[in-house]
Chain A
Amino acid sequence: MKIANLEQLKEIKARGLRLTYPDKIKIMVGMATCGISAGADKVYAALSQRIAELGLDVVLTKTGCIGFCQREPLVDVIYPKQVRLTYQAMTSESATALVDALKEGRIYESQTLCRIDQEDFLVEGVVRPYANPHPPELPPEFPRYEDLPFFSKQVKISLRNCGFINPESIEEYIARGGYQALCKAVAEMTPEAVIAEVKASGLRGRGGAGFPTGLKWEFCRNAPGELKYVICNADEGDPGAFMDRGILEGDPHAVVEGMAIGAYAMGAREGYVYCRAEYPLAIDHLKTAISQAEGLGLLGEKIFGSDFSFTLKIREGAGAFVCGEETALIASIEGRVGEPRPRPPFPAQSGLWGKPTTINNVKTWSHIAPIVARGADWYASFGSGNSKGTTVFSLVGKVNNSGLVEVPLGITLREMIYDLGGGIIGDRAIKAVQTGGPSGGCIPEEFLDTPVDYDSLAALGSIMGSGGMIVMDEKDCMVDIAKYFLDFTRDESCGKCTPCREGTLRLMEMLEAITEGRGQEGDIDKLIKMSGLIKKTSLCGLGATAPNPVLTTIKYFRDEYEAHIRDHKCPAKVCKPLITFRVLEDKCNGCQLCRLRCPVEAVLGTKKEPHQIIQEKCIKCGACYDGCKFDAVVVD
């Protein structure tokens, strides 16, 4: 069937609601990439097997990332008319126990992460309670979803459906208000009115540069030409970030709908999603979503019975970071080597195959439907100053709760790390938080009260970037981190312009020398000078921002550089040429563990006697240090 109007959409919605909230118990397993790598597929298999064995009449389905990846595998059970409970760290055994409890008519009470009493249908602005009439009596120690610090400060707009629907079901997407915004735009709004709404919302691009989205759309709309394109940038090149993956895997229709609305507004008939090949599951879910939308007439000819037609295709990236840059991305879709070209002309004037083109990030697209449905004022009520709305971060590194979080802009770094993130692993001291990936910088502890918005992070020499947030502690060496990023940018530089190609190599070599104890007085100044040159003269953003990790680490952690250069010491004890492992005789009880673990037979010793490390043989792998249960191995 092809949906031609709102009534027909509502029919599908009614069907979707029955699927999403069946009359019987529903078990949902978080099966995004993180979940699967933590063993969710085994949990799913165990659930399925036990359900079959007991002949239990329940619904078992898959869902996307609810964000709390740290606690994976996650399983949710909706007890009809009562409550929804989220279970953490599930195993095959606990999955079986869970089904057994359900068979006995009990609520399974182990491993509860939280209880969810109601769901927000964000697009429609309504709340759907589970309990009817009252939630069941549950032990008081079951926290409510909204009371968990990890969730309480989040506002989920991009992630509105992730972890709540089966991403492979368009009906479930429609159940929670999906495609109503597209219907509204096409049936009730002029393209200009859609653009005006997006402009008024204050939405800025979430792919890195933060350009106002409505303005970009207006340029493209006003550009002469019959044929125009919209592109979704799902290259997600920032190493250490997975926001776009989370959205595409968990709610692909959010992107499809956003792009269709954008295409209507800009007068485009065709679109592409450029997704990195490293995300097979995201590509798979996106493919399903596109064919389902085509099946219901939400993509294709005469959408919602109008004159508007739009088709969407997927293109896979082939593993080149620079292809995230918009002109390189276009070259790549055209089947060429992904080298950036100078702008102007901007893609809005001359983009894909020379036609006016708008490129937005996955997150940017996923904000569009809610903005159109709820209005610009609603959206702009989140966020602060020049940074309106919410954005998704992947909070990883040395925090207790790593995962995917969506927060209103303006929240402080400290809130992100200590409230959402639950502080640093092992209560160690935080050293820095890295935002913006290879284009960003390391922000030290003293600036943790800085609000997370475009301007404040830029003022510190970093950038908002696309949402990678990596927390580092006292065991991370900042010179090593700078070297790490330069190694990355040097590797990924397309080589078209000399300052970027040669400059990143020079920076990398100098950093390498410093971490190997070959640094010299004056190196820091040389690094700064070279960085300035690269920034000024590079053609594209890769080169122009590549020195940021070096500059920010020098600015905030100069003493670490000096320790490497002057004292040939690595204060964080990371840089191998500058450290030695040795055994403390008085602490070693001769358990022999280190001797057995050492890969190169560098440890000597007999049982119950203090052991000894032969420095000439030691390759500094750290296995002895990690393994010793008596803190007898030290690094200095």
Chain B
Amino acid sequence: MPEEAARARTTYAEVTDEDAVAGIIATYRDEPGNLLPVMLDINRHFNWLPRPALEHISDELKVPLTEILRVASFYNAFSLTPRGKNIINVCLGTGCFVKGSPRLLERLERKLGIRHGETTEDMAFTLEVVRCIGCCALAPAIRVGEATYGRVNPDQVSKIIDSYIETASL
């Protein structure tokens, strides 16, 4: 692809970002099929996939950028836009669905003033839906960052979110 070769790399927002990405790529350098593990780790590191990182991967792993973008949009785990500090996942798996999780989602959307898939303006929260986090026996479940909450009722949602707002402002 000629335009690939001619492309100049977009610069990273922070100098340290480049090292972080280089480190991740180095970890998997000799693994066959390393594109996904590299992208997952980068996605985790930044909470999304910044453009310079994608170009960096493309150059290092010799995978065309178009292919990387295709992979990035195919898998639900990846985000091509920046996400908030706290990622809220509302489970809409069947177990949670029949136990009323759509209501939790409605509450959260109203509380945060965003729809699912969106991020609050202050970049504090991104609201997403997930199809099962394996906590079905304690449905309905939500996950905020790494913490899972089971048997959540709509009235508790506010409290859970508030506990993150408080920690955020400390």
Contacts and interface: CB of A to CB of B under 8 A. Distances in A.
A478 to B, nearest CB: 11
Nearest to A334: B33
B133 A318 contact: no
A338 B110 contact: no
A320 B76 contact: yes
A109 to B, nearest CB: 26
A470 B98 contact: yes
Contacts of B132: 236, 238-242, 278
B39 A318 contact: yes
B24 interface: no
Nearest to B89: A278
Contacts of B107: 599
Nearest to B149: A37
Interface in A58-79: 69-70, 72
Given A37-B150, A319-B75, A337-B70, A353 B32 contact: yes
Kindly state the interface size class of chain A when it binds its partner.
35 or more
Contacts of A338: 74-75
> Chain A at the B interface: mostly helix, strand, loop or mixed?
mixed
Contact of A318 (B32, B76, B106, B151): B76
B26 interface: no
Contacts of B35: 335-336
B131 A72 contact: no
Contacts of B93: 239-240
B98 A236 contact: no
A394 interface: yes
Contact of A394 (B34, B77, B96, B136): B136
B74 A245 contact: no
A241 B131 CA distance: 10
A320 B134 contact: no
Contacts of A398: 98
B45 interface: no
A623 to B, nearest CB: 7
Interface string A228-245: 000000001111111001
A239 to B, nearest CB: 3
A499 interface: no
Interface in A293-328: 315-321
A434 B78 CA distance: 31
Given A240-B136, A476-B98, A621 B106 contact: yes
Contacts of A334: 32-33
A626 B70 CA distance: 45
Nearest to A65: B137
B134 A38 contact: no
Kindly state the interface size class of chain B when it binds its partner.
35 or more
Interface in A135-155: none
A261 interface: no
B165 interface: no
Interface centre among B34, B76, B95, B148 (most CB of A within 10 A): B95
A492 to B, nearest CB: 8
A397 B71 contact: no
Interface string B89-114: 00011111111000100110010000
B78 A37 contact: no
Interface in B40-86: 40, 70-71, 74-78
Contacts of A621: 103, 106
Contact of B34 (A38, A335, A395): A335
A470 B94 contact: yes
A38 B40 contact: no
A437 B40 CA distance: 27
Interface in B111-170: 130-139, 141, 146, 148-151, 154
A402 interface: yes
Given A236-B134, A242-B134, A318 B40 contact: yes
A38 B150 contact: yes
B37 interface: yes
Given A70-B137, A241-B136, A468-B94, A316 B40 contact: yes
A504 B130 CA distance: 20
A396 B141 contact: no
Interface string A42-70: 00000000000000000000000000011
Given A37-B150, A318-B39, A335-B36, A402 B75 contact: no
Contact of A396 (B74, B106, B139, B154): B139
A278 B136 contact: no
Contacts of B70: 337
A242 B77 CA distance: 19
Contacts of A397: 94-95, 98-99, 139
Given A239-B92, A470-B95, A315 B133 contact: no
Nearest to B43: A318
A422 to B, nearest CB: 13
Nearest to A320: B75
Contacts of B32: 334-335, 353
A484 interface: yes
A34 interface: yes
B135 A242 contact: yes
B131 A318 contact: no
Given A36-B148, A280-B146, A316-B40, A245 B134 contact: yes
A476 B141 CA distance: 19
A403 interface: yes
A592 interface: no
A458 to B, nearest CB: 20
A556 interface: no
Given A242-B132, A488-B131, A72 B138 contact: yes
A242 B149 CA distance: 16
Interface string A336-380: 111000000000000001000000000000000000000000000
A485 B93 CA distance: 10
Contact of A34 (B71, B135, B146): B135
B37 A337 contact: no
B154 A623 contact: yes
A70 B99 CA distance: 14
B126 to A, nearest CB: 15
A236 B94 CA distance: 13
For the complex of A and B, 6 pairs with smallest distance between CB atoms: A240-B94, A69-B137, A319-B76, A239-B93, A318-B75, A335-B35
Given A34-B137, A37-B138, A319-B77, 15 more contacts: A33-B135, A34-B134, A236-B132, A240-B94, A240-B136, A277-B40, A278-B133, A279-B134, A320-B76, A333-B36, A335-B35, A353-B32, A397-B95, A621-B103, A622-B103
